[in-house]
Chains A and B, each alone.
Chain A
Amino acid sequence: MPPETSSAADSAGRTARLGAPEPSSEDQALLAAVLAKDRKAAAEFVARYADAVYAYVSRRLAPRADLVEDVVQDVFLVALQKLATFAGQSSVVGWLLGIARHKVEDVYRARLREPDPLPDEDDMPSARPAVTPNLDDLIDAARAEEKTRQILERLPVAYSAALQWRYWEKQSVREMAAQTGKTEKAIERLLARARTSFRRLWEAS
């Protein structure tokens, strides 16, 4: 999927909605000034779009907050390199989030490829057996978001990356397998263990 498509922005959730379908004339003037190497335009470019890119990357890379700033910087440097070829078929935010999505997927790919032995279920933080979560637990979105973040921090990095990639990025199992060199069965097994661990912690907290 090309980074400029609106689906990449859609997957970025709330931040994607900041952008109009196409760049405004004001945005286009700003991009032209950045291309002309106007330093003040570069400052405005950062001021205007850094929050959206940061919000997306920090949510997708939780709990690895240490990687967020480097990834955001990579996104802006890639955007600068590709600015001359930006066709304006999506909003600037959507375009930037598309680049960010690829950078985040690079991190997920690396995590799932790491020869990091996953713990046995018995080694996971103690919790009650998994049961069907109460729907009411999902009503308060802010609480759910905080709880989700805390649980992702406690899971092995491969589990949290797999869940985020599959459900928050809406990536197919087939594509995850292709991008990591694993079989679909292996990805399914990983996801099953990740879901079980997540739900145990969800119910326990």
Chain B
Amino acid sequence: MTDERFFTRLAEKTDAVSGAADRAPARLKSRLYSALVAEQAAAGPLRSLPATKAAGHPLCVFEHVLHVVPNERIVSMNPCRVCHARVLAEHFESPPIYWPHCPYVDFQRR
């Protein structure tokens, strides 16, 4: 078997292998989500929490409290930025966070 054929075949074989290591850590997913939302928030207000809820997305307990505030700036802010769930989720693979509809909690389960 020539070198070229050996390495070509090896690449094909090894690319076909799947494994548990192919799943992104929940910690990384948390970082990605935080980075995306921070990037969007830096460029202007996020979709408001009432609009998010109206689109069929359930809110976490903290977002639920904020979404009734009659202030457009507040309902469009990013409360995850100051939430301890974010900090824990970005640094630990199985953090002690359990709130329903929190994206950081959902990343642990998926």
Chain A CB within 8 A of B16 CB: yes
Tell me the nearest residue of chain B to A143, going by C-beta: B17
A38-B47, A51-B23 given as contacts; is B31 within 8 A of A69 (CB)? Answer: yes
Given contacts A55-B22, A138-B9, A141-B14, contact A133 B1 (CB under 8 A): yes
- Given the contacts A42-B40, A199-B3, A138 and B33 also touching, CB distance less than 8 Å: no
Whether B28 is near chain A, meaning CB under 8 Å from some CB there, is: yes
Interchain CA distance A59-B51 in the complex, whole Å:
40
Knowing A47-B29, A138-B10, A167-B8 are in contact, say whether A38-B39 is a contact too (CB < 8 A): no
Given the interface contacts A38-B52, A54-B23, does A13 sit within 8 Å of B16 by beta carbon?
A: yes
Residues of chain A within 8 A of B39, CB atoms compared: 77, 80
Q: Which residues of A contact B46 (CB under 8 A)?
A: 37-39
Contact residues in A for B40 (Cβ distance below 8 Å): 37, 39, 42, 80
- Assess whether B1 is in contact with A132, with CB atoms less than 8 Å apart: yes
Residue of A41, A50, A163, A166 touching B28 (CB-CB under 8 A):
A50
Distance of A198 Cα from B32 Cα, bound (Å)? 35
A50: chain B residues within 8 A (beta carbon) = 24, 28-29, 32
* In contact, B28 and A39 (Cβ under 8 angstroms): no
Which residues does chain A contribute within 8 Å of B96, judged by CB atoms?
Answer: none
B55 at the interface (CB under 8 A from A): yes
Q: Is the CB of A144 within 8 A of B13?
A: yes
Question: Chain B, 31-68, contact with A by CB distance < 8 Å: what is the 0/1 string?
Answer: 11101110110001111000110010100000000000
Contact call A40/B52, Cβ cutoff below 8 A: yes
Alpha-carbon gap, A38 to B75, bound state (A) = 12
Option from A51, A59, A76, A170 in Cβ contact (under 8 Å) with B36 = A76
Is A28 interfacial (CB 8 A cutoff)?
Answer: no
Report B-chain residues with C-beta under 8 Å of the C-beta of A15. 22
Q: B103 — nearest CB in chain A belongs to which residue?
A: A43
Chain B nearest CB from A17 CB (Å) reads 10
B10:A144 contact, CB within 8 angstroms: yes
Q: Which residues of B contact A41 (CB under 8 A)?
A: 57
Q: Is B71 positioned at the interface, with any CB of A under 8 Å from its CB?
A: no
Q: List 18 A-B contacts (CB under 8 A).
A: A36-B47, A37-B44, A37-B47, A38-B51, A38-B55, A42-B37, A46-B107, A47-B29, A47-B110, A51-B23, A76-B35, A80-B39, A133-B1, A133-B6, A148-B10, A167-B7, A170-B11, A195-B3
Leading 8 A-B pairs by shortest Cβ distance? A13-B15, A54-B24, A55-B22, A43-B103, A40-B57, A145-B14, A145-B17, A50-B24
